[in-house]
Structure 1
Amino acid sequence: MSEIGLRERKRQRMYQAVSDIAVRLFLEKGFDAVSVAEVAAAAEISKPTLFRYFPAKEDLVLHRIADHEREAARVVTQEGEGTSPLRALRRHFVDGLDRRDPVTGLNDHPQVLAFHTLLYGTPSLAARVYAYQERSEAALAEALGGDLAARLAAGQIIAVQRVLALDNWRRIADGERLADVAADAVAAAERAFGLLEKGLPWLAEETEPR
């Protein structure tokens, strides 16, 4: 492996390690009760070094979902020929439910539930999630063509996925059994994407293989 590749892997390991330490502290004490200096000390790095990796305190938490930012765009661009964008996105989301992917909200692991509570229960983090969703919309809109229709469609698709995931997480957080939520979650996803197909018929049409 090249020196550049090794350097990048080391950098990514550092990102992950510091983020994991920060999230653990935030879950133990609360986001606002933990200072950046405390995170840096626990990670055994200087505060300036921490800020080189994470410009804002909230980034320490958002790092865990950063790799999902362009996920919808990747699904649209990487699916095989002959598959409509909405069918590809529907299949990807339903497959995520089946895998109990935390991004779908359908996961009852205590650490996952605690992380989502931290994420959506902390005002400054919730605000950053909104910015993250805006970037997801922009990436998806570009993958769909980049015009006004694509931007409007991307906003609706990302909103549907967000609502579905939040509903799943809230029900489980309120004490409902995962198995009970799972059946409803699949039905809700199928219904939601069905509504999207009716409202966005141009994204439901199968493409012709080249």
Structure 2
Amino acid sequence: MGLRERKKLRMYQEVSDIAIALFLEKGFERVSVAEVAAAAEISKPTLFRYFSSKEDLVLHRFADHQAEAARVVGDRAPGQSPIDALRLHFLAGIERSDPVTGVNDHPQVLAFHRLLYGTPSLVARLYEYLERSEAALAAALGGTLEARLAAGQVVAVQRILAMDNWRRMARGEDAERVRRDAVTAAEAAFARLGAGLRAYATE
């Protein structure tokens, strides 16, 4: 990555962090884009060169995950099925407390998720990100109607598993118990996916 790309990435991260801090403090609807720009010491037009909408200031953190499932399938080991590669990747995320899996009880992560799932416009925008993730995965699986159906099921399973994990964390349940249960639930869910999507569960 060159200097220009690194500076741009830093700008994305810094402005997003400032925006999220303001949203958490005051509420998403009570903070204007102009207020975020002023706090970040940039102009409003400059902000919109980096972020196409107010919602993207929050969902920037999900941008790198849009092609993640597709990358996992594309980079899987020889002889490994797509479903197995995705299963192992999701389990590894649980192990390292990746917030995307919902298994993370850090107060800032919990606050971020409350902001995200408690704001209708953010939830709607999140679904656009999920649709792009689904499309990328479908392409990696072959781009056929069967591949699109399979990708839709995989993305839905991952979303539902993560939501269940986050809700339990938000209720204050023991993190290690949630982690153990999350592994069990993920194994069972991917086993069902494999049983129903045999073309993608074997090589």
Q: Same fold (TM over 0.5)?
A: yes
- Matches of 1:152 and 1:120, distance apart in 2: 26
Q: Which of 165, 170, 184 is the aligned partner of 1:168?
A: 165
1:99 is the counterpart of 2:123: no
Q: Which amino acid aligns with 1:183?
A: R
1:64 is the counterpart of 2:78: no
2:118 matched to which residue of 1? 121
Q: What are structure 2's unaligned runs of at least 5 residues? A: none
Following superposition, the deviation at residue 105 of structure 1 comes to 0.2
Runs of 4+ in 1 over 2 A off after TM superposition: none
- Matches of 2:3 and 2:179, distance apart in 1: 41
Whether the 8 Å CA contact 2:15–2:40 is kept in 1: the answer is: yes
- Matches of 1:147 and 1:69, distance apart in 2: 19
Following superposition, the deviation at residue 182 of structure 1 comes to 1.0
Whether the 8 Å CA contact 2:62–2:129 is kept in 1: the answer is: no
Q: Which of 78, 82, 85 is the aligned partner of 1:81?
A: 78
Following superposition, the deviation at residue 154 of structure 1 comes to 0.1
- Matches of 2:196 and 2:77, distance apart in 1: 23
Q: Which amino acid aligns with 1:29?
A: K
2:33 matched to which residue of 1? 36
1:108 is the counterpart of 2:105: yes
The aligned runs of 1:118-197 (5 Å cut-off) are 118-197=115-194
- Matches of 1:33 and 1:18, distance apart in 2: 17
Q: Which amino acid aligns with 1:69?
A: Q
Deviations 1:96-140 (A, max 9, x none): 111111110000000000111111110000000011100000000
Q: What are structure 1's unaligned runs of at least 5 residues? A: none
Deviations 1:76-104 (A, max 9, x none): 00111110000000000011111111110
- Matches of 2:78 and 2:55, distance apart in 1: 39
Following superposition, the deviation at residue 179 of structure 1 comes to 1.1
Deviations 1:139-192 (A, max 9, x none): 000000000000000000000000000000001101211011111100000000
- Matches of 2:100 and 2:52, distance apart in 1: 24
1:90 is the counterpart of 2:90: no
Q: Which amino acid aligns with 2:85?
A: A
TM-score (norm 2): 0.98
What is the root-mean-square deviation in Å for CA atoms of aligned residues? 0.8
